[in-house]
Amino acid sequence: MYQVFLGLGSNLGDRLENLSHAITEIKSISKIMTISSIYETEPVAMDIEKPFLNMVISVETSNEAPMLLAQIKKIEKKIGRKLPSHNEPRIIDIDILMYRGVTYEDQSITVPHPQLENRRFALQPLYEIAPTAVHPRSQKTIATLLRNCRDTHKVTQTDFNINYSITN
């Protein structure tokens, strides 16, 4: 079994409902172990100003990265994401941030996420649930990566809650 950290984000429609729907769908393919708080964040590399809601969850799965990515893409499509939507607003974005202790790369995916170290909106919620997890390429803890992150985009913890049960 693998422990995997997934980043979830939404900046279109009912952002909180979109995250909740994603969690429900992810529960159908893997065991959810931990869920971070929800953060409101400035868009990065986008020409829009509508903020994202972001969070990170850890899941336990027997699937390797390509299979998990395929399942995640199906979930995004089911929730209403239109592809391609890089650098555009989106109903839902689910990224594989990191497999604990594993690196992987092929033409469809690189694990850990190649921009993780540069994205405060992913590092802050990841730090909340796994500060001592070690990035398998840099060999630095998430706490160290966050402390050294040069991203200055605003990341604010919210009071938003999603009603969920972690037990599968």
Domain ranges of the chain: 2-157
Regarding the domain delimited by 2-157, which CATH topology (the fold level of the hierarchy) does it fall under?
Alpha-Beta Plaits (3.30.70)
What number of CA atoms fall less than 13 Å from residue 30's CA on the CB side? 27
pLDDT band at residue 82 under the 50/70/90 scheme: confident
What is residue 29's DSSP assignment?
T
Q: How far apart are CA 156 and CA 120, in angstroms?
A: 11
Q: How far apart are CA 54 and CA 56, in angstroms?
A: 7
CB neighbours of residue 112 within 10 Å: 21
The amino acid sitting at 37 is S
Query: Model confidence over 16-72: pLDDT tens digits?
Result: 999 999 999 999 999 999 999 999 998 887 667 789 999 999 999 999 999 999 999
Query: Model confidence over 90-123: pLDDT tens digits?
Result: 899 999 999 999 999 999 999 999 999 999 999 9
Q: How far apart are CA 79 and CA 82, in angstroms?
A: 10
The predicted pLDDT at position 163 comes to: 75
CA gyration radius for the chain?
A: 15
Q: Which residues are catalytic?
A: 81, 90, 93, 95
Please indicate whether residue 122 or residue 164 has the higher confidence score (pLDDT).
Answer: 122
Distance linking the first and last C-alpha atoms of the chain: 16
Sign of CA dihedral 155, 117, 38, 105: positive
Rounded to two decimals, what is the model's pTM?
A: 0.94
Distances (CA, A) of 114 to 82, 98, 137, 157: 23, 10, 10, 24
